[in-house]
Amino acid sequence: MKLQRNGRTKALAIGAVALVSSLSLAACGSDNNTTASGGSSASGGAASPAAITCAAKQAPLLGAGSSAQGDAIDVWKNTFGAACSGSTLNYNPVGSGAGVQQFNQGKVAFAGSDSALKPADVTASQAVCAGGGKGVDIPMVGGLVSIVYNVDGVSNLVLDGPTIAKIFDSKITTWNDPAIAALNPGVTLPSSPIQAFHRSDDSGTTQNLTAYLAKTSAGNWAYPSSKTWAGHGGQSANLSAGVASQVKAVKDSIGYVELSYAQSNNLKSASINTGASKPVEATAANAATTIATATPAGTGSDLALNLDYATKTEGAYPIVLVTYEIACDKGNAPATLDTLKSFLTYTISDAGQKAIGDKGYVPLPSSVTDKVKALIPTLA
């Protein structure tokens, strides 16, 4: 076990040192431990809007994974770096699948994943989490999967589970298909072919969308929920940014991205007919209604959640996701453990959650954040 820990520490340290000069979030300064609310950082940099307790011995921190939380990480790392001038954070939004793989190879201190760890992932993590530790799911970012589209003259598209499944499986191929028309009475739909885009990389966003389709498509989605796209036909693009870019550029297109990408690219989002009294719009508030009803799926230190994709509650947007930060419950690399805990303590704080709420994410409910706040100090 000692060799495992040392190997992980060495890998993280080498990668971090190589990145420090180009990825510092603030100028080098002293290692003062705290930045009070509204106070200046130790280096005299920008004031921090929240109380952030920096690690006693700060260190560079490497993470990788979910592109869904990329914008959230950008917000957090700027604030955290200004407060803790001796810490640097580099996060590579390579997708959930690649992030978990890098974590289980000991290349990063934490991974971001839009779906909970599979049993095989947990088993693999035991090779890098020293002392009998294992990877655990730590809920951190709430969001929703927006069905984005680019169709001239259509501004309030309504879709449902069966129709979305048929579109992304090439069973509905034109915009004026009777199934789409039935959901959008009075809307003039073009006869043009549908250009559907899906993720080319292994993605937790894909897994959450396909979990929704598996629950709500009335058998029209014949594939299991998975990070890997299985639908027939369509075109692929890398990461959420790639899908958003393609939908924005290609007329008569449709795709799926997180709300933050829809907003930043000025893309229109479909409302979802869930069986409630009226279609539900893709808004953070409506997603929060669904996330608030999540039930525990993990045990012990693992805080994975069960999400109700088939909800029919009024105003509850069904295609939601929770991004987990993946870390060892014990056996984290000693060189970065304190900085990791410091960073996660900030991101789950009320201030940290509010900061990303302004960017289209969904602040997690206290029923979730209270458990995360209790867990982080126990990471070892």
- The tens place of each residue's pLDDT in the chain, 380 residues long, gives 333 444 454 444 434 333 333 333 332 222 333 333 333 333 333 334 457 999 999 999 999 999 999 999 999 999 999 999 899 999 999 999 999 999 999 999 999 999 999 999 999 999 999 999 999 999 999 999 999 999 999 999 999 999 999 999 999 999 999 999 999 999 999 999 999 999 999 999 999 999 999 999 999 999 999 999 999 999 999 999 999 999 999 999 999 999 999 999 999 999 999 999 999 999 999 999 999 999 999 999 999 999 999 999 999 999 999 999 999 999 999 999 999 999 999 999 999 999 999 888 999 999 999 999 999 999 99
CATH fold of 2-142+325-378 reads D-Maltodextrin-Binding Protein; domain 2 (3.40.190)
User: Coil, strand, or helix at residue 111?
Assistant: strand
Residue with tokens 């060495």: 10
Give the residue among 112, 70, 145 at the shortest CA–CA distance from 320: 145
Q: Which of 91, 39, 38, 102 is nearest to 69 (CA)?
A: 91
**Three-class SS state of 352:** helix
- Which amino acid would we find at residue 163? T
- Rounded to whole angstroms, the Cα distance separating 251 from 105 reads 41
Per the listing, tokens 């979305």 go with: 164
272: three-class secondary structure by DSSP? strand
The number of beta carbons lying within 10 Å of the beta carbon of residue 232 is 10
DSSP secondary structure of 116-143: PPPHHHHHHHTTTSSTT--EEEEEEEEE
Residue 326 backbone dihedrals phi, psi, to 5 degrees: -100, 120
CB 148 within 8 A of CB 244: yes
Three-class SS state of 95: coil
Strand ranges (DSSP E) for 29-183?
34-35, 52-53, 60-65, 88-92, 110-113, 135-150, 158-159
In this structure, which CATH number among 3.60.150.10, 3.40.190.290, 3.20.20.70, 3.40.190.10 belongs to the domain 144-291?
3.40.190.10
Distances 340 to 58, 296, 333 between C-alpha atoms, Å: 9, 24, 10
pLDDT, position 50: 52
2 vs 6: CA distance, rounded Å: 6
Q: Which residues of 19-44 are buried (b: 16+ CB within 10 A; e: fewer)?
A: beeebbbbeeeeeeeebeeeeebbbe
Q: Which two tokens stand for residue 162?
A: 């069966």
Hey, where are the domains in the chain?
2-142+325-378, 144-291
The residue to which tokens 């409630």 are assigned: 276
Three-class DSSP category at 71? helix
Equal fold, 2-142+325-378 vs 144-291 = yes
Contacts of 29 (CB under 8 A, 6+ apart): 41, 42, 43, 44, 45, 85, 86
